[in-house]
A and B are shown apart, each in its own frame.
Chain A
Amino acid sequence: MAVKVVDRSPLNFWEKTYMPQVLGGLKITLDNMLRPKVTLQYPEERPTIPDNYRGVPTLVRDPNGREKCVSCQLCEFVCPPKAIRITPGDIDDSDENAHVEKRPKDFEINMLRCIYCGMCQEVCPEEAIFLQDIYSVSGYSREELVYHKAKLYELGGTLPDQHYKWDRKKEAEEKVAAGGHH
């Protein structure tokens, strides 16, 4: 490591009184006072949320309205504060999404526990959970802040899908069913 020699020459009389420093400080604060304010007047003004912002984790549907979560519980497993709790369930054969076989019976995220780390989003193999732009969470009780499946889907809405993995699977099945053996 290079040695940096710091100038330690003795202070002159004027410097010893500290007045230049005091006056310099006063000038800095005065300048600051005249500068425009940086405060964001929160309820009226809202910050612009960047695309990669990690807000409240939400569940999303694909453009066809299918709930994307298949309750693989990887997010529950990876969640560092154990905020997620999933009750898995199967999809009834009469359901139009029967080919997906599995979906959460209930999906709870405890917003009081969530640390917004985004690991659930990262780990999700179905791209079903996203930390979107919601940053203001409030409630009157602890129970209220445990978000259940309906609330999570309401918050999440619909996001574009790049794969349509399950739709393509259904198509293949239908094609086989129509074409005989394969």
Chain B
Amino acid sequence: MDSLLLDIVIKVIFALLFVAVIMSLAAYSVLGERKVASWIQGRVGPNRTALPGISAIPVLGPQLVKLGIWQPLADGVKFLFKEDPLPGHVNKLYYCLAPCIALVPALTTMVVLPVGQYMDGDVVKPIILANVDIGILFILAFGSLGVYGIVIGGWAANSKYPYFGGIRSSAQMISYELAMGMSILPVLIWANGPNSGLAGLSLFNIVESQQGMWLGVWMPIPAFIFLVSLYAETNRLPFDMPESETELVGGFHTEYGSFKFGLFFVGEYAHMVIGSAVFTILFLGGWNFLPDFGIESLHWLSDPWALMPNWLGGPLSVIYFIGKTLFFVFLFMWVRWTLPRFRYDQVMTLGWKYLVPGALICVVAYAIIIGLWDIAFAIDQTPAIVE
């Protein structure tokens, strides 16, 4: 009993830590967004918010202020203390529900997200809340639930622009869901292919299978299709059809303000962070340091963490993973402030006419290639992990 209780307590603490990290990453992504936008536009960005006390520390304090470190705090406090209007013409239940529905799936997906590894004796184990072997399916399933928040929000707001935003969002999600799902298939074929054993759909296994080569390098087209679909799924530019300020005022959240809007906002960024993490896991070798090209003597290159003591290797793997993730978060922003928004028909054309067929071709092509690889180099190797 004791060990079970301890297990639960540890899991809860762990979960809370996860939520804290993801949420603060989301919050600081907002800051990052503003900073990146300013830099690209030749500006400085938020550099005024000061926290009494800490900002008085010489050298460091002003430097933090200059970086805008305290801005998310101020924003959060503002969202909390603003008047929370409830328009008279909305469907009140769904109006209030929508922001939660937008945020919850983003946070739920992190349950199956491995973020690093540690050694349990000689066995490499993932740092993960729940190492389910259908991880990728779980993420796809829950990730696409996020659209309900937008659609319900748009509908419940009971005014035309939010409604348009909601409709657009649902159509866009369905279109890109397909391409996204299919672009992962080559990854899964690989992960369950030549070099692996009984891993199934576990994300940890996918990472482990990329020690030889990051999949993004030799599967660039599926990676690209996945990335594009990810942008569409997270409603980021150039696919932010549901918001589309110039056409739809603010899209689905036109009628929202204060804390509810804040939830939408954080949800979008949480989605973005999770999406980047998933991309890192699927195509960028997760926390693997560098590819070892399958050469045994170079194994330390791909998995240096295993050689370190747990107290060092574990956190370092996590940090390295977060670093890779943050690069993609940055890419999100970089793209946002570079590319203009697509026209809606272009979004549909791109999704249905190029990405879906492209993904299909990739599935077939990589299945054949991996099949041939399997036949040619079928080496009876012990799988990296044994569950």
Contacts and interface: CB of A to CB of B under 8 A. Distances in A.
Interface of A: 22, 25-26, 28-30, 32-33, 35, 37-39, 41
B39 A38 contact: no
Contact of A25 (B36, B39, B42, B339): B339
B94 interface: no
Nearest to A26: B338
Given A33-B40, A39-B42, 18 more contacts: A22-B338, A22-B339, A26-B335, A26-B338, A29-B40, A29-B334, A32-B39, A32-B40, A32-B41, A33-B39, A37-B38, A37-B39, A37-B42, A37-B43, A37-B44, A38-B42, A39-B43, A39-B44
A33 B43 CA distance: 9
A180 B38 CA distance: 77
Interface residues of B, number: 13
B300 interface: no
B41 to A, nearest CB: 7
Contacts, number: 33
Nearest to A17: B354
B44 A26 contact: no
A32 B42 contact: yes
Q: Which 9 A-B residue pairs are closest in the complex by CB-CB distance?
A: A33-B39, A29-B338, A25-B338, A39-B44, A29-B40, A38-B42, A39-B43, A37-B44, A32-B40
17 contacts: A22-B339, A25-B339, A26-B334, A26-B335, A28-B338, A29-B337, A30-B334, A32-B40, A33-B36, A33-B39, A37-B38, A37-B39, A37-B42, A37-B44, A39-B42, A39-B43, A39-B44
Contacts of B38: 37, 39
Contacts of B338: 22, 25-26, 28-29
A38 B43 contact: yes
A105 B337 CA distance: 57
Contacts of A38: 42-43
A18 to B, nearest CB: 10
A29 B338 CA distance: 6
A25 B238 CA distance: 13
Nearest to A21: B339
Nearest to B43: A39
Contacts of B40: 29, 32-33
Contacts of B339: 22, 25
A22 B36 CA distance: 18
Contacts of A39: 38, 42-44
A14 to B, nearest CB: 14
Interface in B18-60: 36, 38-44
Contacts of B44: 37, 39, 41
A40 B334 CA distance: 24
A25 B340 CA distance: 10
A117 B347 CA distance: 48
